[in-house]
Amino acid sequence: MTIKVGVIGAAGRMGRMLIEAISAEDSLELAGATERPGSSLIGSDAGELAGVGVLNVKVTESLAHFVDGIDVLIDFSSPEATLDHLRVCQEQSVAMVIGTTGLTHAQDQAVEQAAQQIPICKASNFSTGVNVCFKLLDIAARTFGDDVDIEIIEAHHRHKVDAPSGTALSMGGVVANALGRDLAEVAVFGREGQTGPRSRETIGFATVRAGDIIGDHTVIFAADGERFEITHKASSRMSFAKGALRAARWVAKQPADLYDMQDVLNLKDA
């Protein structure tokens, strides 16, 4: 059975990569694509836009133009746009894959509520490698316990608008949960001046924005006499795109609920 997919933001970096990846999959079919209202690319062929040839899918300015013809929507846009698309998918009983980061607590709650009616896979990072890292971080944090200082360093391209990255925050959340801590209470976002000695229960975050870095993440577990690091480096957005398509294939067949890539990869009980 071919799964029909809609893509938000066809002209963006992830949008083009998703369309390219979908075109190479026999089990998936691109059935709709959007670009922001007023864009000069409205009406262009999504396949030509992604550099894969004609796919006979015209880029439109609204999800409403094709939502009734898709099985799942992939959305890596902005929080406000994602919430608009969420409402449309909820009304039409269409599954969603959400990779948008920077959602507020209230927006996250809206996603959770919508997942009572439609299947949603939401993740800060769809890379298989990153999600294996999440599993390893849980093991490492439980093993080291309170005997280490924990720091998270992330680097992305100059155009990324949110910081720390959603992936870094997810990594911090995994570590905090494993240690029985509340990340909102123990997170330290950058240091400057006379900060005093480091408190062991804190989890530090450092952010780098430079050049065209796709995405690097390192979590440091530092004890007296040794240091353990878990690192993931992305060299192409195709790893994110392929992970999102894996999620799309999986979530399109699930009952209404909120899932993540740990569910898709069957890592929660591993």
Asked about 122 being catalytic, the answer comes back as: no
Q: Catalytic one among 4, 58, 135, 160?
A: 160
Asked about 156 being catalytic, the answer comes back as: yes
* Cβ pair 113, 103 in contact under 8 A: no
Backbone angles phi, psi at 239, to 5 degrees: -65, -35
* Cβ pair 47, 30 in contact under 8 A: yes
**Tokens matching residue 171:** 């990594």
Report the C-alpha gap between 230 and 159 in whole angstroms.
Answer: 25
* Cβ pair 111, 258 in contact under 8 A: yes
Q: Catalytic one among 85, 122, 156, 242?
A: 156
| Positions of E strands within the chain | 3-7, 28-34, 59-60, 72-75, 95-98, 119-122, 149-156, 187-189, 203-209, 215-223, 226-234, 257-259
Active-site residue list = 156, 160
